[in-house]
Homo-oligomer: A and B are copies of this chain.
């Protein structure tokens, strides 16, 4: 029946013949300091009027907004939704709202998003696959906002909590597996080489070769972008240029999926002729046909974990292990041959 947008604590107070303080106590479920009977009366008119406390006002009064910011490169990239869900699920449980922003891998946009969140006085920020350089990030720390990083490491001063997959080990596992299977000309297909993760995986690829005492052929190293279409294109190039290769590993499932589809289309049999191993284990990889063998990290859980840690930081609780790195697992599905356990 209300004709107003929303009532204020003062109006409620007036209607109940109590002070604003009392109403405040009631809406905050403050057990102390308000009589059973008064509380009931206040509660009732709050109910009737559909009163909703103003979180903004509360925010300026307490300097805690009840919101946290999440910035990702692109919500609509297959990789990020699961991450976001991990964060929102965790924060939901804590009573926090989540503001989201896309950077499109552009440091300038990332900075804008971050700053806009500062303006909103978010209580914490989760930065996923950030592209900012350490100079900016260290500048940014001046705002003293609790900061969680997922998918990227820096010196620990640049974030309060973080988690990251061990890209080097992940890529090594992939390469080692293929090498042990007898492969000697393994294509390595990666996305943007400027991203730290790319460089680390590349390092893993090289290390595995080195350890096995077999040479790396530079012409087998491909760079493009993190997309299925790019994978398709890479596969076409490999075939067209009659490149000599006996296996493929990638820095991203999307690339691997594109490669698999394109190779299959060209009559290459997978895994009989060529084995392919992706990286990331996005949901898509499990549901496509053939299911992709890949390097797996528990994204959802990782994101949840950092969000949970970030919450502790916000609360001022101690966080014993703020910076975790988790070792990815090789998941063998249908794009690699079945073989006995070593």
Which A residues have a C-beta under 8 Å from some C-beta of B?
Answer: 2, 5-6, 50, 52-57, 59-60, 65-67, 74-78, 80-82, 84-85, 88-89, 92, 97-102, 115-121, 142-145, 228-229, 257-258, 261, 264-265, 283-284, 287-289
Contact across chains for A121 and B55 when beta carbons are under 8 A apart: yes
Contact across chains for A121 and B56 when beta carbons are under 8 A apart: yes
**Which of B52, B55, B75, B92 meets A85, CB within 8 Å?**
B75
Of all chain B residues, the one with the shortest Cβ separation from A286 is: B228
Contact across chains for A97 and B120 when beta carbons are under 8 A apart: yes
A258 CB contacts on chain B under 8 angstroms? 287
Contact across chains for A52 and B143 when beta carbons are under 8 A apart: yes
Contact across chains for A119 and B75 when beta carbons are under 8 A apart: no
A84 CB contacts on chain B under 8 angstroms? 75-76, 100
A55 CB contacts on chain B under 8 angstroms? 119-121
Contact across chains for A116 and B88 when beta carbons are under 8 A apart: no
Least distance between A100 CB and chain B CB atoms (Å): 5
A67 to B99 CA separation, bound complex (whole angstroms):
9
> Given known contacts A56-B60, A85-B75, A120-B67, is B99 in contact with A99 (CB within 8 Å)?
yes
Least distance between A149 CB and chain B CB atoms (Å): 20
> Given known contacts A56-B121, A100-B98, A120-B55, is B76 in contact with A143 (CB within 8 Å)?
no
A53 CB contacts on chain B under 8 angstroms? 119
Contact across chains for A76 and B67 when beta carbons are under 8 A apart: no
How many subunits of this chain does the assembly comprise?
Answer: 2
Contact across chains for B56 and A75 when beta carbons are under 8 A apart: no
A120 CB contacts on chain B under 8 angstroms? 55-56, 66-67, 97
Residue among A75, A78, A80 with most chain B CB within 10 A = A75
A288 CB contacts on chain B under 8 angstroms? 261, 288-289
Contact across chains for B142 and A50 when beta carbons are under 8 A apart: yes
Contact across chains for B143 and A54 when beta carbons are under 8 A apart: no
Contact across chains for B284 and A265 when beta carbons are under 8 A apart: no
Beyond A54-B119, A56-B65, A289-B289, 15 additional contacts (C-beta under 8 Å) are A5-B143, A5-B144, A60-B60, A75-B88, A76-B81, A76-B82, A80-B81, A85-B102, A88-B100, A92-B102, A97-B117, A99-B99, A99-B100, A261-B287, A284-B284
Residue among A82, A288, A289 with most chain B CB within 10 A = A289
Least distance between A175 CB and chain B CB atoms (Å): 26
Which 5 pairs, one residue from A and one from B, show the smallest C-beta to C-beta distance?
A76-B81, A76-B85, A56-B59, A261-B289, A55-B119
Of all chain B residues, the one with the shortest Cβ separation from A2 is: B142
Least distance between A43 CB and chain B CB atoms (Å): 16
A80 CB contacts on chain B under 8 angstroms? 81
Least distance between A224 CB and chain B CB atoms (Å): 15
Contact across chains for B97 and A99 when beta carbons are under 8 A apart: yes
A119 CB contacts on chain B under 8 angstroms? 52-55
A53 to B56 CA separation, bound complex (whole angstroms):
14
